[in-house]
Amino acid sequence: MKCCRRQKMRRLTNSLFFIFFFLLLGSGSLFSGDVDDAAKTITKERLVRWLSYLAGDECEGRGTGSEGQEKAAKMIEKIFEDSKLKKFDTLNGYRQTFNIGRYDLAQQPTFSVDGVTFKDKEDFNVTHFSGEGEVESSLVFCGFGITEPQLSYDDYANVDVKGKVVLSFRGAPKLDSKESPFKGSYYHHAHFTDKVKNAINHNAAALLIISGIEKDDKNTRFSISMPAVSAIEDTNKIPVLIITPTVARKLLDKDLKDIKEKIETDMKPNSFTVEGRKIKISVKLNKKEISTSNICGYIEGSDEYLKDRYIVIGAHYDHLGKRGNTIYYGADDNASGTTTVIALVKAFSTLNTPPKRSIIFVCFTGEEIGLLGSQHFVNKPPVPLESIDAMLNIDMVGRVPPGHSASFFGGSFLPVFENLIKKAAEKSNVKPKLTESSGYGSDHISFREKGIPSIFLIASNSTDLHTARDTPDKIPYDRMVSVVCAAFHFTYLLADHNGIIRQRIGKLPVLGLFVETTGEGITITRVLSDSPAAKATLKQGDIILALNKKETKTEEDFETALKEFADEKEITLRIRRGDTETEVKLEIPPPKPMN
């Protein structure tokens, strides 16, 4: 809801009522010359310059809370400032700063089995998911360390791990096969963090994760090793080590490949207590409280009614930092996404007339260690979450495959997404792959969990994820330009869209009308075409008298009544049009659950 007077409009900006009767206005062609000219600012030379700095030696892999990440943050801030992005009053300039904990090994960790001591960094590494502790206990093998009732699969069934050390494989059964049930929405079980949480939930004393089956994945061992950063309140931890397959074979006295094949053949757990093993682990950590920041600003929309509605465009700018003397540059992951956000900021700043809605541009911190930045953003948002219509998350768009293909996870969740993505892709010579599910494992998850429709854009065929080989020289910049242009055109079209994006906000339906309280009651000031209100033939100037026989003298009355009948398939409004009173029925689309 918006009112004609600007003062009252501002007063109602944050009201739920505005959200629920939200109208999108405007007309015109999809792409103007102004928009085309803005897209031309997205050049190979600019992408090379920005990405090479972010993924260069100076930023040292942009580890969360590190000096290298701070250098990246200052670069992003300067570009935002030069582009004249607006700042939120509640933030410190472009910074949304919060504290996290940094953990380093206080002393050499120890790990022994039956009196035989293994070597740190050669046989095992303390992971950055690890807590500290002194553990002396027996050993239980728990397959892949997964519990998923929906799949009737539980590696912890029929074994007692309380106070014991758990040993598990990485990944999930048949993960390399299309037949794996752990694809899609169940893929999160393959993540290290899920395995750690599951071990803690089953009261394990410590967790050992095997780095590979036949061959040691040395790169992974070192890429997830200490030092670590995490949320300060994250205190429920246990020692977590990643060990070589050689060590695992000594622990089990069995062939790892045979064990894995049995589980995958039967698709049933094969967990057991390892008799006679005595495990001793010692991990001691130093903790220091440090600060880190999301970097965000916004471009204000051009429409008087819609400038208080937002599209969020985000990418995480952190990576793994340094491990010893090795820099994990993170060119594709995710200097490419950060560079894309920067390129979009530059492009939008050249428009003579911005799109109707406002656009928030945000570079998130802490994605690699648990989506900390995006979680902080949605928990302490600079604008009401109800005012955010959609979120586009850009992660790994550098190593674009031949053929210029790009995946828009969640791109077919709403018809408006699919329609506009296809138009933007055609304009940019990109072949889009769309799914209804918005995928997993990146910052859009934080928004999706708050009920905000979200899209995950990824365009990479890289095999160098989380390795020191992810460097700027491997980016095909000509192909990357096409994907960045597609992201720009889609963002413009979505922010300038003439129709409803969110069909519901919370539990309440978006009817597609603006209203204001007048002396006669609730007067409709605008009606959105092709909306429930328009289909019911409501018109500007109609006065709403009742909803399902409940009188609605004020906007608050209407909101209360709509809440009561929000789950109905149809509602009836009694209206006055001129001198005539009549009833109209509005069909309400059913809620669509987030996938």
What's residue 527's pLDDT?
82
Residue span(s) of the chain under CATH 3.40.630.10 come to: 36-99+292-493
Handedness of CA 537, 543, 545, 547 (dihedral sign): positive
Residue span(s) of the chain under CATH 3.50.30.30 come to: 107-283
Q: Which of 278, 218, 277, 221 is nearest to 252 (CA)?
A: 277
More confident residue, 414 or 199: 199
What's residue 14's pLDDT?
34
- Calpha distance 552→547 (Å, rounded): 7
pLDDT exceeds cutoff 60 at 552: yes
What average pLDDT score do residues 5-25 get? 35
Give me the amino acid identity at 414.
L
Q: pLDDT, tens digit, for every residue of 296-315?
A: 999 999 988 789 999 999 99
CB 312 within 8 A of CB 384: no
Share of the chain above pLDDT 70, in %: 93
What's residue 229's pLDDT?
80
Give me the amino acid identity at 11.
R
Mean pLDDT score of the chain: 90
Q: pLDDT, tens digit, for every residue of 334-355?
A: 999 999 999 999 999 999 999 9
Q: Which CATH architecture has domain 1-22+510-595?
A: Roll (2.30)
Q: pLDDT, tens digit, for every residue of 36-91?
A: 999 999 999 999 999 999 999 999 999 999 999 999 999 999 999 999 999 999 99
Q: Which of 584, 589, 517 is nearest to 557 (CA)?
A: 517
Residue span(s) of the chain under CATH 2.30.42.10 come to: 1-22+510-595
pLDDT exceeds cutoff 60 at 26: no
206-210 vs 240-243, strand pairing mode: parallel
More confident residue, 190 or 96: 96
Q: pLDDT, tens digit, for every residue of 230-273?
A: 776 666 799 999 999 999 999 999 999 999 999 999 999 999 99
What's residue 30's pLDDT?
57
What's residue 9's pLDDT?
34
pLDDT exceeds cutoff 50 at 479: yes
The CATH class for the domain spanning 107-283 reads alpha beta
What average pLDDT score do residues 142-166 get? 96
Q: Which CATH architecture has domain 36-99+292-493?
A: 3-Layer(aba) Sandwich (3.40)
- Calpha distance 374→365 (Å, rounded): 8
Q: pLDDT, tens digit, for every residue of 357-380?
A: 999 999 999 999 889 999 999 999
pLDDT exceeds cutoff 90 at 437: no
